[in-house]
Structure 1
Amino acid sequence: MAMELRALLLLLLCFPGLQAQAPPAEERRREGGTLYVQCPYTDKTSGDQWKRWCRLKDERCYDLWASTTYPSQIPDRFTIKDHPTAKIVSVTMTDLKAEDSGTYACESSYSPLKRISLNVFKEELQWELDTLQVQCPYSTTWCRREGQTECRVMASTESRSTRSNSKAAHDRTSLMYDRLNTLTVTMRRLQAQDTGTYWCALSSGRTRVMEVVLSVFKRTQQYTAKESGNISVQCQYKNTDYGAVSKAWCKEEAGTSCEILVTTSSGLSGNQRTSQDGRVRIQDDTQQGIVTITMEQLQAQDSGVYWCALHESSGLSRMEEVTLEVSEALSDTEGSSQATPLGNSPTPSSNVNTFILLSVVLSILLILALITSAALCVRLQKLLERTGNQGAEDTYDNSEGTAQLGSTERRESSKDDSKGLKHNNLDLQSQPSSEGPLYCNIEPSQAHRKPQGENVEYAVIAFNQLPRNDAG
């Protein structure tokens, strides 16, 4: 086996023309992309010889004017350069188009250096219910790629194409030739399951002319509600295309089936209908292209996936997908304030943390209250002691105070500590007076009055008359 490989390699090196028998290298690019190819050559391929980049068709290489001999005639999208030192010819193709798909070759003085099988695919991004149109030059067949080799025919000019309203993709596809003999492929009412790889082909899909990668996306909406609540859903459509088509509201079941709950009608009752249980209403505004669905008195089992859909004899075609989640309402004993979204209930660890935090806060408040009470008690005690001392001093000063009424004074006092009664006798000798003895009670005015049994001070003042001076 090793000897055979060495012999084959030796033949390729000695006879470069045999390289043309090698299968072409596969290159796949998106439209707008760039292809860069390097074509090596041997010493026997003189660097003075011209090099070119051509397209093969029916085993013939048609010149694209991408040549080192006429560099001024190279298209803007093509670049070809010869690197004699490295013995490499490099080719660059920019801004690739789907029609650039095909087989290409590097040649040196009509000796093939390398072959490339280029596949430039067209990428199409569409929404459900949109319409796809593709122009396929030199094609007769539209097929869907399945597996590595099979391409299932969707429509072909070799057989009569149908334009029925069938839900099947091949029955929603039509072909038409224009004046330039270009085939136009039309796919209507696209659905997500139409996503895939398609070919513009010849001979019933055996020969690829152009590849189209189609991606169809669903329009989606999401709603959340509580039990016994209501929701209103609106779905838009092109009224020019589907205004006359009946609409439906259905709930998705296992697989791709959808159970119809309510449909519109073009009869005498108008485009508003109500479900059998009276909880679902549908209304179609064909002027604005809007379908409105209202669901009332929701229940937990209403959660699920719904469709706004076209309702035809062939089946349902989804317009939009609506996801609804209905959460259970709390019982009256729990109180409305305890309502929380499902899955967001507090955990036991969070309750423990909350209890610890409250305990710390209450402890701090209690300590502050005790400190404040102690400070107030100390302050009040000091205030009472100060007030008592001041009152005693005032009483003593008042009891000891006397009036100087004459030149001589005699004072006698006696105190009975057990009764708290004080007697002050004052014998004042003064100028003679015709009046008799003067009695008065003296009560300290500055001392605080006490209840019955308080200390009372009495003073007896007697004036002794001196002998009259007859002469006076």
Structure 2
Amino acid sequence: MELRALLLLLLCFPGLQAQAPPAEERRREGGTLYVQCPYTDKTYNYQWKYWCRWKDNRCYQQWTSAQYQSQTTDRITVKDDPTAKTVSVTMTDLKAEDSGTYLCASTSSFIPLKGISLNVFKEVLQWELDTLWVQCPRSIWGYSTTWCRREGQTECRVMASIESRSTRSNSRAPHDRTSMVYNDRLDTFTVTMRKLQAQDTGTYWCALNSGHTRVIEVVLSVFKRTQQYTAKESGNVSVQCQYKNTDYKAVSKAWCKEEAGTSCDILVTTSSGPSGNQGTSQDGRVRIQDDTQQGIVTITMEQLQAQDSGVYWCALHETSALSRMEEVTLKVSKALSDTEGTSQATPLDNSPAPSSNVNTLILLSVVLSILLILALITSVVLCVRLHRLLERTGNQGAEDTCDNSEGTAQLGSTERRESSKDDSKGLNHNNLDLQSRPSLEAPLYCNIEPSQAHRKPQGENVEYAVIAFNQFPRNDAG
């Protein structure tokens, strides 16, 4: 590995032993590496400084810099600052093939200043059933090349390998999902991982010598497609799962229930028989339908029961194993009866506080009391005004009928006034019913018709008078 090369440098160049132990710099593809290489007075007189890649026990691909000057080549910049006695190196837009051992060195006797092991890894994000392609560089040609998965700090489990000068790999991966092929057009090795699953998430190496020397590191993350459903007992549920029909059109599909975390108990599968791309479970409650044109699998579960709750897979059904397409979580709850439905309690957070109800009742009572008081006051005022109006109207009528100063009779406690108009005689007659007063001091006079006079007055001082008026001619015009 690269660290072994650095240990060899420590033995060959004692000046490098005084430096800090070499460390591994790990960067993601597309990232930037910044390194500072300090040097002592002994090396200060050397004007040229190098940044080079160490491989096969020699330094090649050199980048140099003079004092107070910088050199930029491709994606690498080297700058020497004699005042700070530091060589600064910047590598931008890092690529996986940049991984390796690098040195800062001085000219003349080639005095190493600092060495690092750079590891640039590929970060790959995939969905389940996707395919991973990785290209390993041609530089490893001639060695036994492997694609392995890192386990722990030192182990790398081989999944596929290719021998020297061979063109095809000997796959050791389960279900033959992994292979390596030499591409003479690109002059590279291509690693292929098909039908990815979430458990494939991990760190992989394209390596030499059965995984002991890393060439390229790949950090793979595989994500599940998930769905969630809720249903009532005795109800039904319908689930749809999509897939790439160009890749998996001819593959049988299955609906299974997850057991013990990784295994899945198959409930129903599609068939290639006369019934077409469909199937029904033994109990008849589960049906599956595969639309190969659209790339959609539809699963229907009927007459659900509480024990149907759990985790299910839409999966590719092959002879070797199941490959999950999507993960479906189903929760079946008991159906409530009518009586239970009417007695459901309201959550505490949604119930109003008791103090709020009391305050509302008090406020409502105050408002109603004020309105009642205003209504009573209004009624009293209207009654008083009406009474005064009636009194004023009664007094005016009495004054118009009898007046003592004009010889009109003064009325007692009861009176009735009638007016009539006789257009033929031009006379106005007033008829009064009087209650006589016991006083005999002054006579009372009143205009009455002769027929209305008492024939036999009894002990009453009554005088009658007949007053005649000449008839005035009518004015028909007026």
The TM-score normalised by the length of structure 1 is 0.77
Unaligned runs of 5+ in 1: 1-11, 430-434, 442-459, 467-472
Does 2:279 align with 1:308? no
CA displacement, residues 121-148 of structure 1 (integer Å, 9 cap, x when unaligned): 1111111100111111244111111111
CA displacement, residues 251-270 of structure 1 (integer Å, 9 cap, x when unaligned): 22232122222211121111
Match of 1:157 in 2: 162
**Match 1:171 to one of 169, 176, 180:** 176
Residue 223 of structure 1: how far off its partner (Å) = 2.6
Q: Which runs of structure 2 are paired with 1:426-465 in the superposition (5 Å)?
A: 426-427=444-445, 437-439=450-452, 462-463=464-465
Residue 313 of structure 1: how far off its partner (Å) = 1.4
Match of 1:52 in 2: 50
Q: Which runs of structure 2 are paired with 1:83-122 in the superposition (5 Å)?
A: 83-108=81-106, 109=108, 110-122=110-122
Residue 203 of structure 1: how far off its partner (Å) = 1.0
Q: CA RMSD in A?
A: 3.5
With over 3 angstroms needed to count, the CA separation of the structure-2 counterparts of 1:422 and 1:187, relative to structure 1, is: same
Match of 1:373 in 2: 372
Residue 383 of structure 1: how far off its partner (Å) = 2.7
In structure 2, what is the Cα distance between the partners aligned to 1:178 and 1:465? 152
Match of 1:128 in 2: 128
Does 2:62 align with 1:65? yes
Deviating more after overlay: 185-194 vs 21-30: 21-30
Q: Secondary structure at the match of 1:270?
A: coil
In structure 2, what is the Cα distance between the partners aligned to 1:24 and 1:410? 145
Residue 339 of structure 1: how far off its partner (Å) = 6.8
Match of 1:188 in 2: 194
8 Å CA contact 1:19, 1:112 repeated in 2: no
Q: Which runs of structure 2 are paired with 1:372-411 in the superposition (5 Å)?
A: 372-399=371-398, 401-402=400-401
Match of 1:292 in 2: 298
**Match 1:423 to one of 435, 440, 443:** 435
With over 3 angstroms needed to count, the CA separation of the structure-2 counterparts of 1:414 and 1:131, relative to structure 1, is: closer
In structure 2, what is the Cα distance between the partners aligned to 1:48 and 1:100? 28
Does 2:273 align with 1:267? yes
With over 3 angstroms needed to count, the CA separation of the structure-2 counterparts of 1:194 and 1:112, relative to structure 1, is: same
CA displacement, residues 379-400 of structure 1 (integer Å, 9 cap, x when unaligned): 3233334334443454454445
- The code of the aligned residue for 1:149 comes to T
In structure 1, what is the Cα distance between the partners aligned to 2:467 and 2:121? 150
Match of 1:7 in 2: none
- The code of the aligned residue for 1:379 comes to T
With over 3 angstroms needed to count, the CA separation of the structure-2 counterparts of 1:383 and 1:89, relative to structure 1, is: closer
In structure 2, what is the Cα distance between the partners aligned to 1:314 and 1:358? 68
CA displacement, residues 322-341 of structure 1 (integer Å, 9 cap, x when unaligned): 223334433201446x779x
8 Å CA contact 1:440, 1:461 repeated in 2: no
Q: Secondary structure at the match of 2:293?
A: coil
8 Å CA contact 2:162, 2:170 repeated in 1: no
In structure 2, what is the Cα distance between the partners aligned to 1:465 and 1:118? 148
Corresponding pairs, count = 413
Residue 278 of structure 1: how far off its partner (Å) = 3.0
Residue 81 of structure 1: how far off its partner (Å) = 1.6
Deviating more after overlay: 197-206 vs 290-299: 290-299
In structure 1, what is the Cα distance between the partners aligned to 2:130 and 2:124? 11
8 Å CA contact 1:199, 1:210 repeated in 2: yes
In structure 1, what is the Cα distance between the partners aligned to 2:396 and 2:329? 98
Residue 369 of structure 1: how far off its partner (Å) = 2.5
8 Å CA contact 1:428, 1:464 repeated in 2: no
8 Å CA contact 2:19, 2:113 repeated in 1: no
The percent identity for this pair of structures is 67
Does 2:225 align with 1:219? yes
Unaligned runs of 5+ in 2: 1-9, 415-432, 437-442, 455-461, 469-478
Residue 16 of structure 1: how far off its partner (Å) = 4.8
With over 3 angstroms needed to count, the CA separation of the structure-2 counterparts of 1:20 and 1:144, relative to structure 1, is: farther
In structure 2, what is the Cα distance between the partners aligned to 1:465 and 1:102? 152
Match of 2:27 in 1: 29
